[in-house]
Every structure is written in C-alpha cells, then in structure tokens.
Chains A and B, each alone.
Chain A
Amino acid sequence: MRATRMLMFQLIRLVLLLAAVSIITFALISVSPIDPVQAYIGADMLRVGEEQRAAIAAYWGLDQPPIERFLHWLKAIVQGDMGTSMIYREPVLEVIKDRFAHSFVLLLAAWLLSGVIGFAAGSLAAMKQGTWIDRVIQWYCYALSSTPAFWAGLLLLIVFTVWLPIFPVGLAVPAGVSAEQVTWLDRLYHMVLPAITLSLVGISNIALHTREKLLEVLGSDYVRFARARGEQGFLLWRRHGARNIMLPAITLQFASFSELFGGAVLIEQVFSYPGLGQATVEASTRGDVPLLMGIVLFSTLFVFVGNAIAEWIYRLVDPRIKEGYRHET
C-alpha cells in the first residue's frame, strides 16, 4: 500500500517536473534570436527567396505566435507525438528511440565499469589509509576530476588507434558493412574505447565517496572489536566494510545519471558514436528545435529515473526509510 503511494508521488513529481521543464524550455527558445528557418537552411540561405522562406516557416508551423505553438506542441506531445526532427526528417520519438538504443549499451557499460572500479579503488584506498597506495589513488581521483573527458578520449584515440592500431577509430559498426551482417561482437569491439573513456568520468566521484564512508566505518567500535578478535584485510572488509558502504555507493551511482549523460554527449562526439549524445550536439548546433526539446525532456526523464531507482533501493533495503515515509505522509 505504502509502496503504491510512493510510486504515485513519484509519478506526480515526474509529471510536474516535465511540465515545468517543457514550459521553461519552450519559453527560452521562443525568446531566442535564432531564426529556425535560417538554421534549417544553413549555407543555402542566399538562394532562398522570401516566398520559399514563408513556405518553409508555414510547413514547420513557425508563423504562429509562441503561445499557440506551445499549446499545439503540448497537445501533440500528450498524444505521444513530439514533432518531426528537422535534420533527420523523422519523428523525434523515432530518432530518440533509435539513438538511445545505441547510447544505452554504451552508458550501461561505462556505468558498470566506473561503479566497480571506483568502488574497488575507494575501498583499497581506505583499507590502506595513509600509505602510498592511498595517496596514489587519491591523487589519481583528483586528477581525473580535473581532466576534460573529451581530451582523455582524444588521447586514447591517439594511443590505441594510431600508434597501436588495435581498436577502430569510431562509429558503432564497421564501415561499409550492411546492417544485417553486423554482429554483436562488432558492436562490442567498437564500444570498448568509448565505454572506457566514459567510465573515467564517474570513477573519481564514487571512489572518493567510498573512501570517506569506509574510513567512517573503520573508525567505529564494531570494527575495533573485530580487529581485536583478529579479523583483518579482505575478510574484515567483506564482513564489516562492504556491507555498510555498498548501499550508499549504489545509490550515489544511480544518482549520477546526469553526469553520465553529459559525459556521453562529449564522448560520442569524440568517437563519432551515433548515439543520443551526438544527436544532442547536432540538434543544438544546427538549430533543430523539435529534436532539442525532445532530448531535453528525455534526458530529464533519464535523470529522474536514476534518482527514483536510488530512492527505491533505499526503501527496499533500509526499513527506517519506510518508517520515515509513514511519518511524513
């Protein structure tokens, strides 16, 4: 019963959030000095006459006042129609679905990789607190957080495709091969470098957080007793450390979807990986308003889902949160 109530609250919050985001985005875009017709035509602008311009504007519904356009757009979106992308000439929903299918695998791989590596590195640093291992890991984490993700991608490209040509330069599938012939192995092979680069974005956060938490646990009385009983090393970590820090780490990882998506935008650009991130860049640099709005809404949903999952995990694992919900509502 309480679970359904929580789900209801989350759904209401989601609807309100999406409504607010779409109103603000639409308002921002309609006050923008960018002329969508010009952005759409691009370099051919000189060859297009007034009449043609008006025809194009009318075709995309750009000749109506903003409020009307917004209502029109809202009505369509409630029916599941997000409009047509100007650059891909396809329904926005199709473009997003198609692109996200590519991105999803990449995001998932990077997410898992950064979680596992970050957790391991943070645990190791805390268990070896004060030694050179701890210092190296901490230094590495701070260095990672100051590294531009796309630069790291460029360096990996130089090393692993130019100097040691063991990985492909980019794209999600081999060039010049028809869609049916592409195996999942090909896809995996093309994904290795982007996934490693993208995982770098998340590692430092999770590692530093895990280190802090584990140090807290290691300073507690029960760990002191465990040490007095002679427990140490990996066993101590597994019995007393890991159990206590796993949950906040997983939650943090789910709450990091925003950075993950941002990282994917940059890294897909570096590796010409045809995912949603690349579509975001195309949409904003070439002025594809319907697609940009669709992506803004979709990425908001993506971040929201991450946070909602984090809430649910907490609720399922930690009974105190359940109590809290009852007191609050």
Chain B
Amino acid sequence: MRRSVYIRICVAAVLLLLPLLLAALLSSDRLATQLDQRNLAPGLEHLFGTDWLGRDMFTRTMKGLALSIGVGFLAAVASGLIAGSLGLMAATLGKTVDRIITWLIDLCLSVPHLVLLLLISFVLGGGVKGVVVAVALSHWPSLARLMRAEILALKASEYVLVAKQMGRSAWWIATRHMLPHLLPQFIVGTLLLFPHAILHEAAITFLGMGLSPHQPAIGIILSESMKYLSTGMWWLAFFPGLCLFVVVRAFDMLARSLYQFVDPARFQR
C-alpha cells in the first residue's frame, strides 16, 4: 500500500518535471517559421508533427506546458494563501468576521466559475497577470471553507480543551496542537487546487482572454488548431491536449497520494 503510493508520487513528479526540463532544453529555433516543413504529420523528425508555418509542435507543446504549469502553480499558491488566511480569520476573529467571510465564500460560489474568471481577467485587461489573478481570486472558496471547518472542529476538540484547562498559552496550543494537524491539510489542499487552476488557465486562454497569440500556451495552441481541423490536421489538437491532460492527471494523482499520508482514514475504502 505504502509502496504503491511512493511509486505513484514518483511517476507523477517525473511527468510534471519532464515538460519543464524539455522546455528549457529545446531550442527556440524549432519555433521558427520553416515553410518547407509545413503541415507534416507526426514522425521521427517531428514527434508531434508541424503546423501551418512549419513550427515543431513538440517544442511548442512543451514550452506551452511549461508556461501553463508555471501560471497554474503561481495561481494555485496565491489562491491557497488567500484561502488559508481567510479560513483562519473566519475561525478565530469572532462572529462578525466569520459571517462576512462566509458570505464572501457564498458570493464567490454563486457566480458560475468560468464567468467569474472571464470577468476578472477582463477587468485586469488580460495578459499573464490577468490570468494569474483571475485564477487565484476564483479558486479559494472551497479550501477556505475547509480550513474554517477544520479550525473550528479543532477548537472544540477535547485535547485542545484539556490543554486550555491545563493553562497552556494560546501560542502553545496553536503551534503544538493545531499547526501539525492543519499544515499538511493546508498544503495538500493547495496542491489539489493546482489541477483546477491549470485547467481553467487553459480554458480562458483558449477563449481568447489573456496571453498574446505569440506565446505558445496550450489554450492558444488548441484555439488556433480549430481553424485547421477541417483539413484533417488532427495532431495540432490531439497532442497538446493529451499532454495537458497527462499533466493535470499527474498532479491530481500526486495530491491525492499525499492526501493518503495526511488523512489515511478517508482512504480506507
């Protein structure tokens, strides 16, 4: 059981690091327009084929993935920090703050996710910044709710009450009794945000918000491929999407495997 979890973590980590490594190694020359190499089907020379300008799709996909992973990671971490601090504030700063934050969470969840993403990135005028902020500002509610509930449950738990009775200081209780329980939950919760973050990043770049067409982001590659689908160039859409799927799946697997260490009871079934 434990060994299979380790294996899964290793596989996922390799799958995530591979595109980053390849993106750094592959030279940008292969992105140059080469009109004599246009529209080639996948082969040994061009693993994922070439596009209508003769650009190597493998290089484009890997660079796009690296960009997506970077943006997704940044957004997920920012979102996790928002969620953590709001959850903490709601659970500790009294009823009024709790009510305001709970209301904010409900408000955020009451607008469809994608509409919220589009609205925020529109307001920020698109660009990498717009995408990161939009994803960061729209993914925190579920984790914030979880952190709030966890802290409230801990505050009412017997061992914390006993520690209080024994005269331990608030700092002692927070660092010795609560943090060891909350920190892993928080880290894994943030990791679990990542797959969503990267999928939504791809989605809004696909819709044309955000990154400029020259940046090889997965969303942009896929949206460009739409124009060439009817000519039968399936590889333009198939491989970049597949790679995105693999990365998202790998990260999801990684986070879930780590969850098994943090909260084994949930995975007994």
Contact = CB atoms under 8 A, between A and B. Distances in A.
Interface of A: 17, 20-21, 24-25, 28-29, 31-34, 142-143, 145-151, 154-155, 157-158, 161-163, 169, 215, 257-259, 261-263, 265-266, 269-270, 280-281, 284-285, 287, 292, 295-296, 299-300, 302-304
A151 B237 contact: yes
Given A143-B249, A296-B115, A34 B125 contact: yes
Contacts of B202: 148
A149 B123 CA distance: 25
Interface residues of B, number: 40
Contacts of A169: 230
A257 B121 CA distance: 22
Given A17-B107, A146-B245, A154-B222, A25 B122 contact: no
Contacts of A299: 111-112, 115
A285 B208 contact: yes
A286 to B, nearest CB: 9
Q: Is the interface of B mostly helix, strand, loop or mixed?
A: helix
Contacts of A280: 114-115, 118
Given A33-B125, A142-B252, A281-B207, A158 B234 contact: yes
Interface in B148-194: none
Q: Is the interface of A mostly helix, strand, loop or mixed?
A: helix
A284 B241 contact: no
Given A142-B252, A303-B111, A285 B241 contact: no
B206 A266 contact: yes
8 contacts: A28-B119, A29-B123, A158-B237, A162-B229, A215-B269, A258-B109, A259-B112, A281-B207
Contact of B229 (A142, A158, A284): A158
Interface string B238-266: 10010011001100100000000000000
A151 B241 contact: yes
